[in-house]
């Protein structure tokens, strides 16, 4: 695809929210519009609009959910179909997809001042629609079933002539589009920061790695959402979240058996010189009930159970932390169940 940053690869069509959370996706194969793969009550709205129809199959109907997309998908029949199903929409639109439109030509728009806008109202199959044309650096056309140009707001733009930022008029529909559009780009940005870069000759492995990256980003966004609802700050950045997840997956459900044979003198010296603190295991590792055995160490250490200030010679073989086992083993037991 010559117009895309990555011209070669697999194409994904993704349904995201404004925060970048992925709800549904579709991999382009060239056979999606075949009649065999279309649901019984779904209309044929064209190749690009049919993508939106398929991705919104699981969106609840008549809940006034709002859908945003760019001019590759937007069409009048698509807006009417979504409106009849109780889904509002807003998207940039191409002039050739608006039959008999009265939008001024590019020659007329060039003569207008920056910030000039035009608004046109119409009804198609009992669906009210609003088309707004606004001049920024270039002409921008938007189609909406719930939002128009009023009230006219202002926005900052850089003026090359005066070499400074100026305030120009901006329709409400432009602000609305810029506020909620871009969830897919945000998802791509989050995935691209720490994506899996393992090479493989198997073409399907690249898709598999991409799905893993998407799942990790989704889980991190859910974590941030839950922390916000609880009124707590998010302790993990995306990088820390990936590290914690990788560490948990390598330890959860695994029994660590001691190596057989007598340890060498060299390994003992390395262990004695190691002074870095051992990282505490995550909750998933602590509570998996697999391989948590008590080991004795001649050197005492501070018990890692919260609010316990005692010192003990016993530690967990898997978690690698000191825990009291006396007094009925309260610290050791509670540490692995809470």
Domains of the chain, residue spans: 12-193, 203-251, 280-335
Which single residue is written with the structure tokens 């991705």?
55
Tens-binned pLDDT, residue by residue, of the chain (338 aa): 566 666 678 899 999 999 999 999 999 988 888 887 788 888 999 999 999 999 999 999 999 999 999 999 999 999 999 999 999 999 999 999 999 899 998 888 888 999 999 999 999 999 999 999 999 989 999 999 999 999 999 999 998 888 899 899 999 999 999 999 999 999 999 999 999 988 888 999 999 999 999 999 999 999 999 999 999 898 899 999 999 898 888 877 666 666 666 655 554 444 555 555 667 788 778 888 888 888 888 888 888 888 888 898 888 888 888 988 876 568 888 888 87
Our measurement of the distance from residue 46's CA atom to the centroid of its chain's CA atoms, rounded to an integer in Å, reads: 28
Q: What is the DSSP letter of 258?
A: P
Q: What is the DSSP letter of 308?
A: -
pTM for the model stands at: 0.77
- 48 by Cβ neighbours in 10 Å (0-12 / 13-18 / 19+) ranks as middle
Q: In 10 A of CB 255, how many CB atoms?
A: 10
Reading the block at residue 338, the tokens are 């809470």
């Amino acid at each position: 695809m010559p117009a895309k940053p990555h011209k070669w690869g697999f194409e994904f069509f993704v349904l995201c929210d404004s925060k970048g959370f992925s709800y549904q996706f579709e991999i382009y194969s060239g056979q999606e519009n075949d009649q065999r793969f279309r649901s019984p009550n779904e209309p044929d709205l064209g190749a690009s609009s049919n993508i939106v129809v398929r991705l919104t199959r699981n969106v609840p109907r008549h809940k006034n959910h709002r859908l945003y997309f760019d001019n590759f998908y937007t069409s009048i029949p698509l807006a009417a179909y979504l409106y009849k199903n109780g889904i509002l929409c807003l998207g940039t639109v191409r002039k050739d997809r608006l039959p008999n439109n009265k939008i001024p030509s590019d020659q007329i728009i060039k003569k207008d001042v920056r910030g000039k806008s035009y608004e046109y109202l119409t009804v198609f199959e009992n669906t009210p629609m609003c088309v707004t044309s606004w001049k920024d650096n270039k002409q921008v056309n938007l189609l909406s079933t719930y939002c128009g140009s009023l009230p006219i707001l202002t926005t900052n733009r850089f003026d090359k002539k005066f070499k400074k930022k100026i305030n120009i008029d901006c329709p409400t529909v432009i602000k609305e589009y810029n506020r909620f559009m871009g969830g897919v780009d945000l998802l791509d940005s989050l995935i691209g920061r720490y994506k899996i870069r393992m090479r493989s000759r198997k073409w399907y492995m690249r898709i598999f790695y991409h799905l893993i990256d998407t799942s990790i980003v989704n889980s991190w966004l859910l974590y941030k959402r839950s922390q916000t609802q609880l009124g707590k700050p998010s302790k993990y950045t995306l990088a820390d979240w990936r590290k914690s997840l990788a560490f948990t997956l390598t330890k959860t459900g695994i029994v660590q058996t001691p190596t057989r044979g007598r340890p060498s003198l060299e390994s003992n010296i390395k262990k004695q010189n190691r002074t870095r603190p051992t990282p505490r295991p995550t909750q998933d590792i602590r509570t998996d009930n697999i391989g948590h055995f008590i080991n004795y160490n001649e050197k005492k250490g501070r018990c890692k159970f919260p609010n316990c200030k005692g010192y003990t010679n016993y530690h967990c073989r898997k978690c690698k932390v000191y825990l009291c086992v006396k007094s009925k083993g309260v610290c050791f037991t509670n540490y692995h169940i809470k």
